[in-house]
Amino acid sequence: SQQGEEDPQALSIQEGENATMNCSYKTSINNLQWYRQNSGRGLVHLILIRSNEREKHSGRLRVTLDTSKKSSSLLITASRAADTASYFCATDAAGGGNKLTFGTGTQLKVEL
Amino acid sequence: GAVVSQHPSRVICKSGTSVKIECRSLDFQATTMFWYRQFPKKSLMLMATSNEGSKATYEQGVEKDKFLINHASLTLSTLTVTSAHPEDSSFYICSTAKSGTKNTEAFFGQGTRLTVV
């Protein structure tokens, strides 16, 4: 399977703490994207990082990309209960034409 | 507002019947759309790539006669689950990106929860 791996599979933290999720993938990529999914719903795009970028920020989100290790991380700072969701990384393979391969996902639970 | 509209959001059908799911690109023309399937608490798995005006490209292990894809216009792709069985129960979701672009986010439909009884 070409599917990427994410860890941890599940993460439970207290509100206000930071949450870090990691993603590893297998092929050369154009970009890597992070998505959020609330239970039983569609996907919400969070951030896209290109293969020539190493770090990107958006609000409370910080994404890093290490193409030599084929890995990425998503950091959510000052987490809130509303951040509770599943988070997926997805890679757009070089030459893939916007066809995404998703990681296994991390289920984040932020408790009050 | 939504860029991709998927309909219906939920459907319950009897075993042996067929179900059609529509995916519409609202803001731009989409020569290519993608169909994914997601089992409970699992990740999304690509089923097929829908190409406007030509045959869809199916991923390994996906039966093309079971999951019929039609992409008859630049804004609409349909997925028909034929002769549905309980094991076809799943969350189906489509996506697209602006044609001819690279390094751009994909836009997803709201998904369709199919339950076959």
Per residue in B89-112, pLDDT (tens digit) is 999 999 998 766 666 788 899 999
Alpha carbon separation from A43 to A33, B33, B69, B101, B107 (Å, rounded): 12, 15, 22, 20, 8
Q: How far is B109 from chain A (nearest CA, A)?
A: 6
- Looking at residue B95, its pLDDT comes to 93
Task: Tell me the chain A residues in contact with residue B23 when contact means C-beta distances shorter than 8 Å.
Answer: none
Q: Is A99 on the interface with B (CB under 8 A)?
A: yes
The yes-or-no verdict on residue B39 having pLDDT over 60 is: yes
Residue of A69, A102, A65 lying closest to A86 (CA atoms)? A102
Helices (H), chain B: none
The yes-or-no verdict on residue B10 having pLDDT over 90 is: yes
The yes-or-no verdict on residue A91 having pLDDT over 70 is: yes
Which of B105, B113, B114 has the highest number of chain A CBs within 10 A, making it the mutation to test binding with A? B105
The yes-or-no verdict on residue A36 having pLDDT over 90 is: yes
Alpha carbon separation from B108 to A96, A104, B30 (Å, rounded): 17, 18, 12
Q: Is B7 on the interface with A (CB under 8 A)?
A: no
d(CA B52, CA B67): 16
Give the range among A46-55, B16-25, B52-61, B100-109 with minimum mean pLDDT: B100-109
- Looking at residue B1, its pLDDT comes to 61
Nearest CB partner across the interface for B43, out of A40, A41, A103? A103
Q: Is A52 on the interface with B (CB under 8 A)?
A: no
Tell me the β-bridge partners of A61: A58, A76
Tell me the β-bridge partners of A71: A24, A66
Secondary structure element (H or E) that encloses residue A43, with its range: strand A43-50
Task: Tell me the chain B residues in contact with residue A35 when contact means C-beta distances shorter than 8 Å.
Answer: 108
Q: How far is A98 from chain B (nearest CA, A)?
A: 7
- Looking at residue A33, its pLDDT comes to 94
Task: Tell me the chain B residues in contact with residue A45 when contact means C-beta distances shorter than 8 Å.
Answer: 105-108
Question: Quick check: B44 and A102 CB within 8 A?
Answer: yes
Mean pLDDT of chain A: 92
Percentage with pLDDT > 90 across chain B: 71
- Looking at residue B114, its pLDDT comes to 97
Task: Tell me the chain A residues in contact with residue B77 when contact means C-beta distances shorter than 8 Å.
Answer: none
Residues whose CB is less than 8 angstroms from the CB of residue A68 and which lie 6 or more positions away in sequence, other chains included: none
- Looking at residue B29, its pLDDT comes to 85
Residue ranges with strand state E in B1-117: 4-7, 10-13, 19-25, 32-38, 44-51, 57-58, 67-73, 76-81, 90-96, 107-108, 112-116
- Looking at residue A20, its pLDDT comes to 97
The yes-or-no verdict on residue A44 having pLDDT over 80 is: yes
Task: Tell me the chain B residues in contact with residue A104 when contact means C-beta distances shorter than 8 Å.
Answer: 42-43
Residue of A76, A99, A92, A94 lying closest to A11 (CA atoms)? A76
